[in-house]
Chains A and B, each alone.
Chain A
Amino acid sequence: MNTFFQLLISALLVSSLYTLVAVGFTMYVGVINLANFSHGDTCVMGTFLLMPLFLFATKMGWMTPLAGLVIPALIILVILVTGLWGAGIYKILVKPLLVAPRLILLLASVAAGQVIREAIRVIYPNGSNPQVFPKLLPSGGIELSGLTLGYDSLTIIFLTIACIISLNFIIQRTKMGLAMRAVSQNSDVSQIMGINIEKTIISVFILGSALAGLAGILNGTYYGIAKFNLGSNLGIKGFSAAVIGGLGDFQGAIIGGVLLGFIEVFASAYIPNGSQYQDVFSFLAVIAFLIFRPSGILGEKIFEKV
């Protein structure tokens, strides 16, 4: 029972991370039908932006009196920077290539990911090796009849839920969200309806990359280490989650993220030697979906327009 409970918490944590990545992925596919393979590396960019900022703040002596204020400020700063990065990626890379064959854009996003990854490795001191990620969240936790619920775990789960709820609000209730949904449905019609498509797409890139930055920070917090090449794995997991849930569907990304997190944690725990093959289980899951239900859990069957 005890281990089961711990596993449940781990599954929720992993699910949170995957969901945050998947949401961005699915939104890009929704608005411009682009699978952005640099998304996972944007997450790691968030991780590696936070670390030097944290060291700097510590050195300046800001941490001791004001940690509770400084750390959220740093996180917000990183999120803003990755959000801006998203806008930049759209402007510099994606937009000029929208007229080219889709293959070119896809490959370019792969290359962009590679550039981010390698830039981090060569720029960050000793970047080839794993780095200790600073403890951002208070240690300790709530004791519940012999079970410990760490504050860090609670914060990660809480933050994820808060992000999802706010994003859902944006998408469902605001004008910008309406525009995003309209563009996802049909960009030609939206243009006629007077929606500023460019602005909408940029907002999606900002939101998606900002979430990626947060995911990167939370990923570092959860595992306690950061490595320059974690992004490819994280990105693929996010993509897999989005595919499982139904590519292009916001709620699908959440369902997919949660499902993938649970599959991964429980399969690793209950299958002998499973932890070595943790990633294999997720990929088997996504391949099963591609074969039997390529449109994902929530996606409807699409008839490609001719």
Chain B
Amino acid sequence: MAEPLLTVANLTMKFGGLTAIDNVSWTLHEDEILGIIGPNGAGKTTVFNVVSGLYTPTGGEIRFRETLINGLPPHKIAKMGIKRTFQQSRLFDTISVLDNVLIGMATISKGIFVNSLFRRDLLSKELALNIKDGLELLHHFSDYLAENLYRRAGDLVPGERRKLEICRALASNPDILLLDEPAAGMDPNESAELMDDILKIRALKKGIGIILIEHDMAVVQKTANFIVVLSYGKEIARGTFAEVSSNPLVQEAYLGSESEYARS
């Protein structure tokens, strides 16, 4: 029986008068990929923002394993082992690919002040390890990135940006990875590749739990073990892909909003 990694109970997030997440509950287990789908504005990204600590939820609980993490600042949550990507990629544009990955290892850097000024030897050791791991990680996802370590992140094409963002998130070896629409703007080939990547993550890191927000139903179908459907902040369905996609409420929610989702 897989251990629960992240448990969300009666989660609610209100922005002034608008309720972006309305009393939502679910659990993510080890080795599981949880899909969160729903039309635009359903509150999916807000779930990530709340879980990663950018907003303090106005109601409910978020537990990482046993620990209550609502209201913790983002860097502490990252340090506990929850990492994310962003719907609109947010790389550190003017610095290099390698530096982006090294920043992804912030949570495993120790004594940065002392090492920077007084213990350069320790810094060197840490850097050597970091770079070795970073290179390995990059090689898993993209040879291009691994061979262009010194390219500015801002100069990458969108597909490589997404990959770099995933590498940055994975660099600290997190227990939970939150992926916000990683396939957005990709062509079918690229999203097929992305699916492989996501499955690769699971193979690379035993026990990692992934939450995937995705509009590309093919990706969701292939990867997610379990799906929660949100609409206007409320959960309207849950289950396997087959169960969810045959649910009339889900079909209505999608058809009612945007035709784009119908293509799956």
Contacts and interface: CB of A to CB of B under 8 A. Distances in A.
Q: Do chains A and B touch in the complex (CB under 8 A)?
A: yes
A306 B49 contact: yes
A304 to B, nearest CB: 8
B86 interface: yes
5 contacts: A301-B16, A303-B15, A303-B55, A304-B54, A306-B49
A188 interface: no
Contacts of B55: 303
A293 to B, nearest CB: 16
Contacts of A300: 16
Contacts of B45: 306
Interface in B135-183: none
A29 B16 CA distance: 21
B86 A306 contact: yes
B54 A306 contact: yes
Contacts of A304: 54
B85 to A, nearest CB: 12
A262 B161 CA distance: 53
Give 4 nearest A-B pairs by CB, closest first. A306-B49, A303-B15, A306-B54, A303-B55
Interface string A73-100: 0000000000000000000000000000
Interface in B41-64: 45, 49, 54-55
Question: Mostly helix, strand, loop or mixed at chain B's interface?
Answer: loop
A94 to B, nearest CB: 22
A175 B49 CA distance: 37
**Residue from A300, A301, A303 with most neighbouring chain B CB atoms (10 Å):** A303
Given A303-B55, A306-B54, A306-B86, 6 more contacts: A300-B16, A301-B16, A303-B15, A304-B54, A306-B45, A306-B49
A303 B86 CA distance: 16
Contacts, number: 9
Interface string B105-122: 000000000000000000
Interface residues of B, number: 7
Nearest to B84: A306
A306 B181 CA distance: 14
Interface of A: 300-301, 303-304, 306
Nearest to A300: B16
B24 to A, nearest CB: 18
A304 B49 CA distance: 11
A300 B15 CA distance: 10
A301 B55 CA distance: 12
A205 B45 CA distance: 36
B179 to A, nearest CB: 15
A303 B55 CA distance: 8
B84 to A, nearest CB: 10
Contacts of B49: 306
A301 B15 CA distance: 9
B30 to A, nearest CB: 27
Nearest to B180: A306
Contacts of B54: 304, 306
A126 B36 CA distance: 70
A306 B45 CA distance: 8
B144 to A, nearest CB: 27
Contacts of B16: 300-301
Nearest to B54: A306
A304 B55 CA distance: 9
A112 to B, nearest CB: 25
Contacts of A306: 45, 49, 54, 86
A71 to B, nearest CB: 48
A302 to B, nearest CB: 9
A173 to B, nearest CB: 26
A303 B45 CA distance: 13
Contacts of A303: 15, 55
Contacts of A301: 16
A132 to B, nearest CB: 51
B161 to A, nearest CB: 17
A238 B233 CA distance: 41
A44 B127 CA distance: 54
A263 B197 CA distance: 61
A300 B86 CA distance: 26
A304 B45 CA distance: 13
A304 B16 CA distance: 13
A242 B15 CA distance: 24
Nearest to A304: B54
Nearest to B20: A303
A255 B15 CA distance: 25
A304 B46 CA distance: 12
Interface in B1-33: 15-16
B205 to A, nearest CB: 25
A301 B58 CA distance: 13
A306 B43 CA distance: 12
